[in-house]
Structure 1
């Protein structure tokens, strides 16, 4: 599968190179948005091929050493969702272009990488950023699926500097001497595959990057590593992201757990037999009821909004080993009365 992906990305590189070459050899498309798109497709394909090659080499290395390819096959998986990314343009750059936009435009894009997955944002240009208070904003949703608990996700920021396009779309496509991209770029033949002269390099250059893991997923601001000061953006990126459970894996634990109940104003601790399985907590009054009765309570942990489940401070509860779960839905499945959405547990 990885070999197939590598071949697909190689063909994408060749196709994007042909499109880019067409733009560069035709005055009508030099510096155009079509050229920018070709640079983006080329950069994305290059990075995807590189990611697939790295993952392929890792798999081969594991097989050679007879090591498991994935040590976390039985553990829960998650989806990491990015809903917003933004970078600030440098103040001097914005001030210089308040009255005149200048002859050059900067284009920005981000690539999000997890193992062989490489996903891209849309392109945002500096003109659009100046119109929205000097911020480069990426607003499309990006989902990384099948993420393990020990994930390391790499976000790379790329920038492209281009001379401002002078010819309008109507002039490009309605000129008698202009050939359209559709007619000009035909499918590649086998004889052209792998030819070194057909492969071009993208001018989208790396401006900075960062790595996100489980401990930093709740943060919103990150400093860019390897920041290139020759681009007109500040070395800080803002993110809005969310990590949600995809599968519960084969995690299974059982034992006694004390549940804090608050029913009609009367609070008390009560001991239950508890099973953690399939992403839920299920409670019975006695251990032998697990196989003979429906649980007295069941809590779907996918609705838990507590970011970190850990022992609470003594100010909240003086009982040792107490942890707190806050649920998004007040209705916890039960064969009894509705309980409060916030529940405390103590081992």
Structure 2
């Protein structure tokens, strides 16, 4: 007698490329069955007769299949939507609690919303695996969250037109609507299930909140595009990287019911990007500390980062017999919103009812480039009797690029010991980002030869001196900078507030008025921008 053949093993990949390290891998055991629905069983295909009544596991599997098929079919053949779905899936893996608040050792979560428990009803003796598909989830990805905006194009003088932005935002809105619909359906199924767990409900609430916040941000962007008719001209080409970490809140000491469990979540937004932390509970010392690190890259000059704190409370008391009977007869009701969106595959307008997330906003704060070095922020729209209206955090500026370029001939004046200019030499000067370089010839820069002098604008004084008193030459400006002193600088002037630095002056003369205005305006603009970002070492002339 030949042993029974093992069922074929199928590897389903939701992305068109090879699975990455942290990508979920779905393995399904395919069994030939006459019925269309793989989650319902027919007694003719099983070794043991089963009841026709739909079990809890079958209900959960149906919800899983609907979520997976809906999101997968939505993004097929659409590269833009596929990228968004990839980000959404990674966000779901990030939201999966590493230490669930209840005993959920044997529980898992599905890639899209939640994962059902393993079925113990049907076992295949030869293979010893469940007939229903299994979903394997890898370990949590790193906690660092990266937000990237499109980099600055040097050759592009204007941003895309409002029509182009409108259609792009509209497509993003439709994708978020699909996510909201599936997250809402899964949350409703969990709430109406008598065997629901707190971990599953908390995860579904978190996903619904994050998609809802992103949907609102995209809608506001669309409204701005409709109100503006002309393209926006880029004023500067500044790009910066910012890291936010160590968010801490203080909890008001108060009596709380033992049956209530309150979780807090922090959402960071910039433009249409939303990044949320895991939902956590306060520690024993009345502190609420979020361990996530937010790394935001390619920030523009006028960036506006918004942080908002949310809370949700669950009643963990075990229901009585009467409540269990009433729960079986009644359904869970929640406030509902209606959304309208266009199906990305059929291009048909659809209407869906979405339940609202139970998370409540408790306060928010805003950060701009002027607040980079602040460690404390007051919460606005404050509404909480559990939190204090102050948040502490750590912010660090990783990099700041001006992306400015200017080159041309200037005449450099040499200064003697009596601070008189006795000689002038024509030099090739180049400004790249925050570095001002002086070469003998243009070919030296092209061949990457070492320059005659290099000036870091972060060590310069703001503003540029346009009319030096001791120089009779027209169209001359002076760059004042400080550099570390050496043993040969005993006769040089040291800075007052920085004794280990000496003052250097570079006298530069332009050939005509246009070159003079171009160079001085570009240098002053760069120094002003560095000053606003807090990158100037010597902020005023009191150092001289």
Place the TM-score, normalised by the shorter chain, in its bin: 0.5 to 0.7
**Deviation at 1:291?**
6.4
Helix, strand or coil at the partner of 2:186: helix
Residues 1:71 and 2:234 are matched in the alignment: yes
**Structure 1 residue 228 corresponds to structure 2 residue 380:** no
Whether 2:408 is the aligned partner of 1:242: answer no
Aligned match of 2:277: 121
Answer whether contact 1:257 1:273 (CA < 8 A) is retained: no
Partner of 1:11: 178
**In angstroms, what is the RMSD of aligned CA positions?**
4.1
Superposed CA offset, 1:205-235 (max 9, x none):
11000110011111011010011133x1111
Residues 151 and 214, structure 1, Cα contact 8 Å, conserved in 2: yes
Distance 2:307 2:446 in 1: 47
Match for residue 258 of structure 2? 102
| Structure 2 partner of 1:2 | 169
| Matching residue within 204, 215, 227 for 1:49 | 215
- Alpha-carbon distance in 2 for matches of 1:55, 1:117: 11
- Name the SS of the counterpart of 1:125 in structure 2: coil
> Which structure 2 residues correspond to residues 296-315 of structure 1 after superposition, within 5 A?
296-298=452-454
Query: What is the rounded CA distance, in whole Å, between the counterparts of 1:215 and 1:81 in structure 2?
Result: 15
More strand by share: 1
Kindly indicate whether residue 305 of structure 2 is the aligned counterpart of residue 138 of structure 1.
Answer: no
Give per-residue Cα distances to partners, 1:312-343, cap 9 Å, x unaligned. Answer: 9xxxxxxx9855689xxxxxxxxxxxxxx978
CA distance in 2, matches of 1:321, 1:84: 40
Q: Any conservation in 1 of the 2:404–2:431 contact (CA below 8 Å)?
A: no
CA deviations 1:56-113 (Å, max 9, x no partner) are: 2223333x2x232x534x51211222122111111x23xx47xxx7211111111111
1:219 counterpart residue number = 374
Cα deviation 1:28-78 (Å, max 9, x = unaligned): 226x1211111111111111011112122223333x2x232x534x51211
Aligned position for 1:200 = 355
Q: Which one scores higher on RCO, CA 8 angstroms, separation ≥ 6? A: 1
Deviations 1:271-293 (A, max 9, x none): 99863313434344789966685
Higher mean C-alpha displacement, 157-166 vs 4-13: 157-166
Paired residue secondary structure (2:355): coil
Distance 1:7 1:284 in 2: 54
Query: Aligned pair in 2 of structure 1 residues 113, 289: CA closer, same or farther (>3 Å)?
Result: same
Higher-Rg structure is: 2
Q: What is the aligned length?
A: 275
Structure 1 CA distance, aligned partners of 2:503 and 2:262?
53
Report the equivalent of 1:275: 430
Q: Tell me by how many angstroms 1:299 deviates.
A: 6.8
Runs of 5+ consecutive residues of structure 1 not aligned to the other structure: 168-188, 259-267, 313-319, 327-340
The 8 Å contact of residues 208 and 227 in structure 1, kept in 2 or not, is answered as: yes
Conserved? CA contact 1:257–1:346, under 8 Å? no
Gaps of 5+ in 2: 1-167, 320-344, 414-418, 464-477, 485-499, 507-544
Please give the secondary structure, in 1, of the residue aligned with 2:266: strand
Contact map agreement 1:217 1:242 (CA 8 A) in 2: yes
SS at match of 1:237: strand
Give me the whole-angstrom Cα distance separating, in 1, the residues matched to 2:355 and 2:175: 17
Using the size of structure 1 for normalisation, the TM-score is 0.66
TM-score under structure 2 normalisation? 0.44
